[in-house]
Amino acid sequence: MKTMTKQTIALSALIAGLAAVPAMADDAAPYIFGQATHARETNGDKDVANGLGVGLGYKFNRNFAVEGGVTNLKDRPGMSDESANIRAVGIVPVSDKVDVFGKVGMARVGTTLGSSAHDDLTYGVGAGYKLDRNWMLRADYDRLKGASDERQNLFSAGAQYNF
């Protein structure tokens, strides 16, 4: 019975703490984004590919978000075609309309995202321009490690909708 009381108190404290997060962060909100992507391999055959990406995220406050996404590149021999990622995003508002951000996280990369794909570190930078309260244009640069020693630079441009 004593253990159950401690667990109840701990759970109550956790719920109260999570309930307070929205009150501490006026900017807290989910968002979605879509992007056109151009990828370049930095070693080997130096293949290039184009594709599309989509993602969703949650902005906890004006300086921190977590986002995940997928990118599908047009098939190129020897180049990883699909990636899925989850990243922590540090945001620095430059003005009322412009944000710059840095990203670091994990990506699953492969010709498909099945058992032949592998997980590795991903990182990047970007900037966003707020059109209004909900819409933002964004440009991103991401670095991924593909199959074996393949490295990819991804350049993306797209739009983000903040709920």
Q: Where are the domains of the chain?
A: 27-162
What is the mean predicted confidence (pLDDT) over 28-32? 96
CATH class of this structure's domain 27-162: mainly beta
Token pair listed for 39 = 């990828």
Contacts of 136 (CB under 8 A, 6+ apart): 99, 128, 129, 130, 159, 160, 161, 162
- 115-137, pLDDT tens digit by residue? 677 788 899 999 999 999 999 99
Task: Say whether 107 sits in a helix, a strand or coil.
Answer: strand
Q: What is the model's pLDDT at position 40? A: 85
Instruction: Determine the Cα angle at 57 with ends 41 and 51, to 5°.
Output: 30
* Res 145: pLDDT: 74
Q: Tell whether the model's pLDDT for residue 24 goes beyond 80.
A: no
Coarse DSSP helix, strand, coil percentages of the chain, rounded to the nearest 5 percent: 15, 60, 25
Where do we find the tokens 């590795």? Answer: 120
31 touches 162 (CB < 8 A):
yes
pLDDT value of position 81: 77
Distance between CA atoms of residues 105 and 111, nearest Å: 20
**What local confidence, expressed as pLDDT, does residue 43 receive?**
73
Question: Mean pLDDT in the chain?
Answer: 83
